[in-house]
Chains A and B, each alone.
Chain A
């Protein structure tokens, strides 16, 4: 073949490769391509353990046994923005936690619902108090007959250690700017005025909780208040009282979510955003180095590791 022909062919192939790589790069971010090429998925978001404020420590040594509001908000936002995700399965196994942390996460959950994606809640062992607060946002709430749920209420506690400190000969000298600055100090009993102030706060949070349950479960507030004395219910009792919708396990809830997106209920495509792998899991051999690296980038397993590492270098 002549030199000119060789050069032309090679130049054409090189130009095509560069063009395809560039165009492919743009289109991987484009919505219409995602809708054409990717089937719908259900995002599974888990709430395990107490719900607390703050965020996960990415360099933590061992797995976390709490759910932070930061991580929950992030997952709700990802599910809302992920065009592949058509529905969300919220799997809850939590005794509750901080009211403010729950509210923060609930705000993002509400935004997710407003985007039009159905939310199916699956209760595990326990879904009480703040965890129940989150549950009421579900379009359908599944529980097991023996799930512990309810506990609609709020409390604040403090320890009065004055007697103990006197026995130990320990006293506290406090110079404060206002009378109630040390309202929960364990070194003195609460005054009646402070008790009233705290009760007012608790009542305010309680009213907010009741309002959320009434709205989420489409019940009268008066009826919710009759159930909201802090008592817990089994899943079966909760269903009779209108606090949950159906009895079923995780896979029943997943099948429900799958039907809503037109997927095979026995083989629902799912995605989970929390792939966090702790150093302890890596060192114990419970996770591969590949999974550990992917968890740092919070991505699924479809991206080849070399490209992921390059993306990591360029991103950071």
Chain B
């Protein structure tokens, strides 16, 4: 366990200073345990922030949020793996999961900024949040590229496709629901 934590810390430092080289190494060596540890830390930090800020929050709800995060992460890996294979890449889920786990590191800076919302200008917090999201996206693309040997364009498509599909489904559902409700209104 100790060596796992030490390795994770070392890889984290290298990822921030030399992201491409480090991600290649993480993916090749399939550092899944380290990736999962980073991902768990990234998921727990906002839960801790929310629990500390909210007087009525339940620990059980935090575990529910963690479980929900788990499911989302697993679905994300499966989706990206499937789409990457369809786009002609070849790689393993383990390598992908390792890379995607580490790509979540910048999100911790967003959590830090949002917890300081009461003293920082909101526009700065939003800027840091967006910058962290973009940084995470870039690292995800690099991870997919390393894991599946695809071009940057295909890797970007593989990473973005799940989000695009979810947004399209939500839009379709909302439009369908709105029309269904409005048909109940006279004159429509």
Contact = CB atoms under 8 A, between A and B. Distances in A.
A269 to B, nearest CB: 14
Interface string A258-285: 0000000000000000000001000100
A314 B44 CA distance: 12
Contacts of B55: 29
Given A21-B49, A310-B47, 7 more contacts: A10-B13, A24-B49, A27-B118, A29-B53, A37-B118, A302-B122, A314-B50
A25 interface: yes
A14 B112 CA distance: 11
A20 B122 contact: no
Interface in A2-50: 3, 6-7, 9-11, 14, 17-18, 20-22, 24-29, 33, 37-38
Given A6-B14, A10-B10, A311 B116 contact: no
Interface of B: 6, 9-10, 12-14, 41, 45-58, 61-62, 64-65, 68, 108-109, 111-112, 114-119, 122, 125-126, 129, 178, 181-182
A47 B171 CA distance: 37
Nearest to A25: B52
A107 to B, nearest CB: 25
A15 to B, nearest CB: 11
B170 to A, nearest CB: 10
A160 B168 CA distance: 60
6 contacts: A10-B10, A14-B41, A20-B115, A25-B53, A29-B53, A306-B129
B47 A314 contact: yes
Contacts of A59: none
A38 B129 CA distance: 23
B125 A304 contact: yes
* Residues of A contacting B: mostly: helix
B57 A24 contact: no
Contacts of B49: 21-22, 24-25, 307
B45 A18 contact: yes
B47 A6 contact: no
B169 to A, nearest CB: 15
Contacts of A20: 112, 115-116
A316 B68 CA distance: 14
A303 interface: yes
A179 interface: no
Interface residues of A, number: 35
B10 to A, nearest CB: 5
Contact of A21 (B112, B181, B182): B112
A97 to B, nearest CB: 29
Nearest to B55: A29
A191 interface: no
Interface of A: 1, 3, 6-7, 9-11, 14, 17-18, 20-22, 24-29, 33, 37-38, 279, 283, 302-304, 306-307, 310-311, 313-316
A39 B130 CA distance: 27
A304 B126 contact: yes
Contact of A315 (B6, B56, B111, B126): B56
B132 to A, nearest CB: 11
A9 B17 CA distance: 12
A314 B181 CA distance: 30
Nearest to A313: B65
Contact of B65 (A22, A29, A314): A314
B6 A7 contact: yes
B9 A307 contact: no
A17 B53 CA distance: 16
A11 B13 CA distance: 9
Nearest to B112: A17
B54 A314 contact: yes
Contacts of B53: 25, 28-29, 311
B41 to A, nearest CB: 8
Contacts of A37: 118-119
Contact of A9 (B13, B126, B129, B181): B13
